[in-house]
Structure 1
Amino acid sequence: MVVQAEPGMGDDGCVASKRGTQTARDMVLSMLVILLGAGLVYLFIPHDDSLDPVRPITYDTELATARRAAPYPLAAPVGLPETWRATSVRYDGQSDHGAVWHLGFMDPDNEYAAVEQGDGKPDAFIAEVTHGAEPTGENRTVDGEEWERYEGPKYDALVHREDGVTTVVTGTAPFDSLARLAAALEAGEN
């Protein structure tokens, strides 16, 4: 007796399935179409890698608001050239370091420099905003005031302590740029 396979049955008597190979092939083809589409979008969307990724900000409103709220006169630079670009600003009246003020800049050589002020414990505040910089034992006179010099693996800093507030000018910028920023600082109240 000869058994004939029914239509759709394989040699072993099981139903032959093309579904498994079609699914894998379809997935590969779909991925190729998606990658081709993404490549075309990349080619036709304008992009310029030479553009400066730093987005300058204005901080006049934040400064005025923070000066009204702060328990000490907040410092901000006056008369810095336009080549100094403000990049970040914030005020927190109830941080772990008391009332703290931050104003970040990129200097003309694209190095970071920031003004940090706090009325909490100075040593803990300095350690945090300088990312662990240590005092060198040297001072630098800036506009007739003595600033302590700190050096660290990430940031260097100039530190000025007075009347319950610590002012730190810190960043990756060289000490001459930090001193330039410190010299431009004027404390004010609203």
Structure 2
Amino acid sequence: MKRVVDVMICALLLLFLWPVLLIVATAIRFESAGPAIFRQNRVGRNGCEFVCFKFRTMFFGTGDIPTHQVSASAVTTLGAYLRRFKVDELPQLFNVLAGDMSLVGPRPCLPSQVELVQERRRLGVLKVRPGITGLAQVKGIDMSNPNRLAEIDAHYVRTQSFLGDLKLLWATLRGHGVGVDQVVRT
């Protein structure tokens, strides 16, 4: 049921948002060199890696490190706005359509975040598809505290429901939580 709802909602969103995607991609290309879409391996369901898509918000060539460890100077001016309003996450709708992700679930982490991957595996979090948004994001918990994040993710997995997912989507659209894209201000 969840997969069917994910596909239906994504198809509708893409039908209406394709002009926004095109405008954002063009603006990124005009602002700085490099591709508009950022591709990065992430850990998904059952611990399998997949390529996660996002709009590029950092200058091309910035290292492949967790977002919460990136210096603010690495983020483009447009990128800061895209992150603030979560527009940079829109290409992940294609990940949802491909079956790599869900609209709601634990955020996918980098394979290099070994402690978080191990803790999620131990707690059974990797049994579900990762999401564009999730309980931890709405609660304002980012990937800088792997144990706490894995605990919240495990709570989501144990208690997930259709109504709960709708509430998390609504909270995300209303801007609750700090999100996953905070950067260190230096």
Larger radius of gyration: 1
**Shorter-normalised TM range:** under 0.3
More strand as a share of residues = 1
Q: Which has the higher contact order (CA 8 A, sep 6+)?
A: 2
Q: With structure 2 as the length reference, what TM-score do the two structures score?
A: 0.24
